[in-house]
Structure 1
Amino acid sequence: MPENRQMISIKGTNEGLTLFINDSCSFDEVMDELKEKLSVYQPNDDEPEVAVTVKLGNRYLNEQQKNQINELISKNNNFIVQAFDSEVVRKNDAISWKEESDVKTVHRIIRSGQVLEVTGDLLLIGDVNPGGSVVTTGNVFIMGNLLGMAHAGANGDQNAVIAASYMKPGQLRIADYISRAPDYETEGVYMECGLIDEVQDKIVIDRLQVLSRKRKDLSGFERRIQNG
């Protein structure tokens, strides 16, 4: 590597400092230059802590290496590492992310006593009969009748939604919120969705069209459901 190529550069921002690490040099070279750069900084006791974001580019650091950099930056300085930002992820992390973000399409009827569990979003083309259940870590979209139980955001995602062509559920769950079926007889509703209303602090049933306003990241998928 050319000697005049800088391994580490530091830029001040409104949020603190951003530390850019050259991704073509070795980790040992990074640590040596970082020690040299930090050695010239002698903060006063009354200076506030400064947040540092470490930009890694196309470099992956394991937890031990992150801890080494974190310890070096924080030692004898008023700096605190708030984040490591890398363009590289581990294969397992990428697979997990893909599973969480994918829409799983299932063609079947969920009958009484059956439970369908998926990771990520679910598009069910079929019915959920009374006594049947669907459980997802993401959103639930049902092209059919929802007459049983649907649980969206099972890992705690309170922004998850439940939508169905015809909705007369036995129970709706979003994250740890539960909405039970009413004690009185209802006709059910067409093309509706269930989502958490933060003001009312409960699950509410609303028109499917509200998702374009309340859950903007779903607007494209919602249009596809409405248009068939």
Structure 2
Amino acid sequence: MKKMQNVTIKGTKDGIILHLDDSCSYDELKKELDQKLSANSRINEDQPLTSVKVQMGNRLLTEKQNEEIKDLIRQKKNLVVDEIVSNVITIEEAKRKKAESEIKSVNRIIRSGQVLEVPGDLLLVGDVNPGGTIKAGGNIFVMGTLKGIAHAGCFGDDQAVITASIMKPSQLRISDCINRSPDQFAETEERLLECAFIDDNRQIVVDRIQVLMHLRPNLTRLEGGL
């Protein structure tokens, strides 16, 4: 019976992909990886660096093992590790992803000098006074008056939006885009049920909330959406 390979090397236009079996022992895997790379390595000082992507399957490496695999690959001429990916994640990463996918509901007034920040979506039942700041890794929904600073998608989510019952912010931020409050509305005019989002020109646009049904049809995790 032919022995199953623990290490499979596949060449692509972008470099090399290493598929490492997740059922064998780590020591056995590392030994075969060293043998395979040594047999396939070509020492040529003029040869450009080759990018290597390592796929671990359902094996989760410790930090030490992760560095050992990287060092083993780097020892071979002209090979550079691009990334090591796995189908499993740590408990800490799972908790972080869960927090980023949740809607945090807060019932309070954000006063001047106060900062409220959540990892996922924020549902604020209350006002944001001038000088107050709210930040979210996802979307921001304000059931009240927004007069302070709102920063949605603060970890780089361009699809994030900001909504408010009354939209009169001092500044809007989505991802890395910034937009100060438009001046075309009179101070006494209430701008009811509006939203802010990044358009195709990477500008923050403020519009009526109904446009989100078409722009972000999968916006909420609640049944029915907006």
Q: 1:102: Cα distance to partner?
A: 1.5
* 8 Å contact kept, 1:146–1:166: yes
Tell me: CA distance 1:132–1:222, structure 2 relative to 1, closer, same or farther (3 Å).
farther
Give the whole-Å Cα distance in 2 for the aligned partners of 1:171 and 1:31. 53
Give the whole-Å Cα distance in 2 for the aligned partners of 1:212 and 1:43. 56
Greater displacement, 159-168 / 18-27: 159-168
1:34 alignment partner in structure 2: 33
Give the whole-Å Cα distance in 2 for the aligned partners of 1:53 and 1:176. 29
Give the whole-Å Cα distance in 2 for the aligned partners of 1:16 and 1:124. 47
Offset from partner CA, 1:24-74 (integer Å, 9 cap, x none)? 111111111011111212425243333221111111112322222122223
2:105 alignment partner in structure 1: 105
Tell me: CA distance 1:74–1:131, structure 2 relative to 1, closer, same or farther (3 Å).
closer
Gapped regions of structure 1 (runs ≥ 5): none
* 8 Å contact kept, 2:101–2:120: yes
Within a 5 Å distance, the mapping from 1:167-206 to structure 2 comes to 167-175=167-175, 177-182=177-182, 185-186=186-187, 187-197=189-199, 199=201, 202-206=203-207
Tell me: CA distance 1:63–1:211, structure 2 relative to 1, closer, same or farther (3 Å).
farther
Within a 5 Å distance, the mapping from 1:4-153 to structure 2 comes to 4-43=3-42, 45=44, 46-106=46-106, 108-110=107-109, 112-113=111-112, 115-130=115-130, 132-153=132-153
TM-score with structure 2 length normalisation? 0.79
Greater displacement, 136-145 / 171-180: 171-180
Paired letter, 1:194 = A
Q: 1:195: Cα distance to partner?
A: 3.1
Tell me: CA distance 1:42–1:55, structure 2 relative to 1, closer, same or farther (3 Å).
closer
Greater displacement, 44-53 / 80-89: 44-53
**Partner SS, residue 224 of structure 1:** coil
* 8 Å contact kept, 2:43–2:77: no
Offset from partner CA, 1:98-153 (integer Å, 9 cap, x none)? 112211123x2415345433221102234434554422233211233323332223
Gapped regions of structure 2 (runs ≥ 5): none
**Partner SS, residue 112 of structure 1:** coil
Tell me: CA distance 1:72–1:116, structure 2 relative to 1, closer, same or farther (3 Å).
closer
What RMSD over aligned residues (CA atoms) do the two structures have, in Å? Answer: 3.2
Aligned pairs, number: 222
Give the whole-Å Cα distance in 2 for the aligned partners of 1:88 and 1:185. 54
Task: Name the % identity.
Answer: 47
Give the whole-Å Cα distance in 1 for the aligned partners of 2:154 and 2:95. 19
